[in-house]
Each structure stands twice: as structure tokens, then as C-alpha cells.
């Protein structure tokens, strides 16, 4: 597991961002009613804040730099980014993932999403920039197809 995270970190460091694109028309942008201007940035200070923001459309968010430990999740996809047209600035953020999460929920149901995943980027035109991911605890996952990042 540590090798996978180290390789991913190297890829993320070389690439300025990960973007989930959609074949839909570009240039269109959904704006949340709570945002007043196109360039407003919401500052987040916890993983709970990040989870809530990850479901919103049209958000520009920055997680405060620091080390965050991911040792709890609600499902086998630990952090799901489902909002559209969103940008998440994660420079200076290190996400430490407890490998025990990769077996916490038993075998996922068979189907399209039948794997464990730290970051599940499924929202259209959603961008993550600057995240560093590390794993700890060295517990093996319950299956061989665990993923650090899934982009669909």
C-alpha cells in the first residue's frame, strides 16, 4: 500500500491538478446561490468541511494547509467529489489514510463501484490541485483492487 501512495504522490507532485472532465459543453458553470461572486473561495478547516463542500456544484474551496488524518469513512469510497464545475485547492495539505479503512466495510457489492477508494472524483469538471496522500498502519486491504484516486 505504501508504494502505491508514494507513486501517486510523485504523480500528483509532477501534475498541477487532477480534473474530471465531461463531454458536456465547456464554459458553462453552475453557481451556488450561497456564492456571490465567481472568484469567491470558501476556506475549509476540516475533512468534514471538505466532505460537505465536495457535494456542492460551482464551489471554489481551499483546505487550510496541514496534515489531516482520514481514519473514518461512511462507505468504501472515503472522500467523494460529486459536485460539478468545482475547484479544490489543496496545496500544503497532506492526507494521511489509515489502511484499516480498506477492509472496514467488508467486500463492496458487485458492480461498477465494487472497490475501496480514498478519493472518488465523479463530478463533472471538478479539479483537485496540490494534494499529497500518505498511508499508515500497513494493514492489507480486503481485496486487491483498492485505489487511492478514482476518476470517472
Q: Please give the mean pLDDT across all residues of the chain.
A: 79
Pick left, alpha or beta for residue 64 (phi over 0 → left; psi -120 to 50 → alpha; otherwise beta): beta
End-to-end CA distance of the chain: give it in Å, rounded: 22
**Cβ-contact 72, 104 below 8 angstroms:** no
Tell me the average pLDDT across 76-82.
94
Question: Is the Cβ–Cβ distance between 104 and 68 less than 8 Å?
Answer: no
% of the chain with per-residue pLDDT over 70: 73
Residue with cell string 469510497: 77
Question: Residue 25: pLDDT band by 50, 70, 90 thresholds?
Answer: very low
Q: What's the pLDDT at 101? A: 93
pLDDT tens, residue by residue, 97-150: 999 999 888 887 776 678 899 999 999 999 999 999 999 998 878 777 788 999
| pLDDT at res. 106 | 85
Q: What is the mean pLDDT of residues 61-81?
A: 96
Element (H, E) at 6: helix 2-14
Amino acid at each position: 500500500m505504501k508504494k502505491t501512495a508514494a507513486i501517486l504522490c510523485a504523480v500528483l507532485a509532477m501534475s498541477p491538478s487532477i480534473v474530471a472532465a465531461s463531454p458536456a459543453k465547456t464554459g458553462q458553470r453552475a453557481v451556488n446561490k450561497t456564492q456571490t461572486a465567481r472568484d469567491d473561495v470558501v476556506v475549509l478547516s476540516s475533512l468534514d468541511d471538505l466532505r460537505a463542500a465536495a457535494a456542492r456544484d460551482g464551489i471554489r474551496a481551499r483546505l487550510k494547509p496541514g496534515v489531516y488524518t482520514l481514519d473514518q469513512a461512511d462507505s468504501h469510497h472515503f472522500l467523494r467529489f460529486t459536485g460539478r464545475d468545482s475547484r479544490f485547492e489543496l496545496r500544503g495539505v497532506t492526507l494521511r489514510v489509515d489502511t484499516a479503512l480498506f477492509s472496514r466495510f467488508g467486500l463492496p457489492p458487485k458492480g461498477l463501484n465494487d472497490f475501496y477508494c480514498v478519493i472518488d472524483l465523479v463530478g463533472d469538471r471538478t479539479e483537485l490541485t496540490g494534494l499529497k496522500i500518505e498511508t499508515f498502519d500497513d494493514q492489507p486491504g480486503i481485496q486487491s483492487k483498492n485505489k487511492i484516486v478514482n476518476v470517472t
